[in-house]
Amino acid sequence: MEDEGIFFHPAAFPFRIYVALHFVQDIDDVAFLVGKYGFLTRPIQNECIRVTQIVVPKGRKRVNKFTRRIFTISFLILLLVPYGVVVSRQWHGVYVCQNIYVQFGDAYFPELGKRKASLSFSHHLSNPNVLLLY
């Protein structure tokens, strides 16, 4: 079999993805430059030049730093307090399930469909790492 080159080697797959992504990212810039330098029609060249000369006015500052800081802190509190409640309840065992029955099934590995497991947790969380599998 003829050598196809290092670019087609399976280990070069991430490199090929990177090259494709780089190409897709830069294709619009290339099309804009082709139009700007006049390789397409004259109206396209004029529009490309006009677009590069547009000046965007600087926006005025609408919110002072104190208001922005208060909004950010209140937003973080609104996000973190419910999260802390759930973590605390989970830590104290409110959401602990005593038994979990699992049946594995997989279309790719049919033999996994024959495997079953039952997980039993200790009823007291003094040692949460105790896990019985039978």
Asked if residue 77 belongs to a domain, the reply is: no
On whether both 56 and 94 belong to a single domain, the answer is: no
The residue among 27, 26, 46 whose CA lies nearest residue 36 is 46
With 50 as the cut, is the pLDDT of residue 134 above it?
no
Distance of CA 77 to the CA centre of its chain: 24
Asked if residue 38 belongs to a domain, the reply is: yes
Asked if residue 100 belongs to a domain, the reply is: yes
pTM: 0.37
Query: Residues 34-71: pLDDT tens digits?
Result: 999 989 899 999 999 999 998 888 877 777 888 889 99
Query: Tell me, what amino acid is at 125?
Result: L
Domain boundary, last residue among 69, 97, 114? 69
Question: Which element (helix H / strand E) includes 123?
Answer: none
Sheet with strand 131-133: strands edge to edge:
99-103, 116-121, 131-133
With 70 as the cut, is the pLDDT of residue 81 above it?
yes
With 90 as the cut, is the pLDDT of residue 72 above it?
yes
Query: Residues 92-127: pLDDT tens digits?
Result: 877 777 666 666 555 566 665 555 566 555 554 455
Query: What is the domain extent for residue 127?
Result: 88-134
Sign, Cα dihedral of 70, 75, 77, 78: positive
Asked if residue 58 belongs to a domain, the reply is: yes
How many domains does the chain divide into?
2
On whether both 16 and 63 belong to a single domain, the answer is: yes
With 50 as the cut, is the pLDDT of residue 1 above it?
no
List all residues 6 or more positions away from 37 whose beta carbon is below 8 Å from its beta carbon.
45
Domain boundary, last residue among 40, 69, 98? 69
The residue among 90, 116, 84, 114 whose CA lies nearest residue 103 is 116
